[in-house]
Structure 1
């Protein structure tokens, strides 16, 4: 099976044109790549925000504990 549309390489490659796989799919691949990239950034943003919120809560709890310990 050929992804570039040629059954035989016994041709003059100077006249063939593009010989890379999946020719004609460039725009679709760019769109899929950009959507993947944006989705990945969205997922990372949500996960990092949750992580920072947990860290902030732990820091507050730690500060409360330390302030209570220092009172006694």
Structure 2
């Protein structure tokens, strides 16, 4: 079953034209991918910084240490 009307792939592909979807939008896809990638890193860094700060605050207060000692 052919979705592009070709009977055989035994032809010169430069004469065929587009053989994959969204041809010509590669630059846009790369830009969107880079924006997503950088945005993910920014959000991940913010989340991890907040988590580390919460851990450090708990460590400074000593509450977690007292709870751990009191359990045993």
Q: Does 1:33 align with 2:30?
A: no
When normalised by structure 2's length, the TM-score is 0.67
What runs of 5+ residues in structure 1 fail to find an aligned partner? 1-5, 67-72
TM-score of the superposed pair, with normalisation by structure 1:
0.67
Runs of 4+ in 1 over 4 A off after TM superposition: none
Higher relative contact order (CA 8 A, sep 6+): 1
Q: Which runs of 5+ in 2 are unaligned?
A: 67-72
Counting matched residue pairs gives 60
1:58 alignment counterpart? 58
